[in-house]
């Protein structure tokens, strides 16, 4: 058994696949939730899925900015990297917007809280699947 090295590109590809998988799972589950629980619960599910997807996207942006900064520090890249401040500002702004969106959707939509939690769980499910994929590749 040989152990392969996990690179930044591997993590980047995994996060991108997790983002696509989150969207695909949301597309598959949306009609079923609408038919079973109604449009309000479906809207809550989509709010959760959107928060989950944007969370993965923000982590992807944050990771890319941090890796670029580390490469500049090691002298391996050019000095025209994206500043870390705006990336961090968008990261925290998105977190604040997610809280406002969660609160507003729970107050405004009279749907199932479980649908919202299901939408939020899509990102975790996609990340778990990608982690298993990375683990199986790493152990080969």
pLDDT per residue over 5-37, tens digit each?
777 888 889 999 999 999 999 999 999 999 999
Q: Tell me how far apart the alpha carbons of residues 120 and 82 are, in angstroms, rounded to a whole number.
A: 29
30 in Cβ contact with 42 (< 8 Å): yes
Which pTM was predicted?
A: 0.82
Residues 6 or more apart whose Cβ sits within 8 Å of residue 97: none
Low-confidence spans in the chain with pLDDT less than 50? 1
Question: For the chain, what are the domain ranges?
Answer: 8-134
CB burial of residue 86 (10 Å; 0-12, 13-18, 19+) = exposed
């Amino acid at each position: 058994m040989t152990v392969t090295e996990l690179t930044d590109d591997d993590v980047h590809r995994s996060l991108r696949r997790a983002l696509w998988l989150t969207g695909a799972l949301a597309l598959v589950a949306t009609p079923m939730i609408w038919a079973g629980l109604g449009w309000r619960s479906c809207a809550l599910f989509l709010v959760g899925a959107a928060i989950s997807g944007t969370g993965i996207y923000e982590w992807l942006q944050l990771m890319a900015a941090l890796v670029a900064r580390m490469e500049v520090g090691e002298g391996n890249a050019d000095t025209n990297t994206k500043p870390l401040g705006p990336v961090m500002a968008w990261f925290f702004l998105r977190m604040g917007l997610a809280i406002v969106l969660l609160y507003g959707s729970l107050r405004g939509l009279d749907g199932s809280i479980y649908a919202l939690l299901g939408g939020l769980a899509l990102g975790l499910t996609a990340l778990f699947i990608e982690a298993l994929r990375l683990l199986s590749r790493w152990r080969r």
